[in-house]
Amino acid sequence: MTDQTPAETLRTAAERLQWLLHPDGMPERIRRPWLAPADGMQGRITVPDEDVPVAVAMWGGAAEYIAAMHPGVGLALVDWLKREAKSHEAAVVAAAEVFRDDPAAGAAWVARQDNMAALAVAHALLGGVS
pLDDT in tens, 38-97: 776 677 888 877 777 888 888 777 888 888 888 889 999 999 999 999 999 999 999 999
Q: Is residue 84 part of a domain?
A: yes
Q: Is residue 75 part of a domain?
A: yes
Q: Is residue 80 part of a domain?
A: yes
pLDDT in tens, 21-36: 876 767 777 777 888 8
Q: Is residue 53 part of a domain?
A: no
Q: Measured between alpha carbons, how far apart are the two ends of the chain, in Å?
A: 12
Beta strand segments in the chain, E: 43-46, 53-57
Q: Is residue 45 part of a domain?
A: no
Q: Is residue 10 part of a domain?
A: yes
Taking the model in full, what pTM does it have? 0.83
Domain extent for 26: 6-32+70-125
- Other residues' Cβ atoms within 10 Å of the Cβ of residue 3: 5
The total number of structural domains in the chain stands at 1
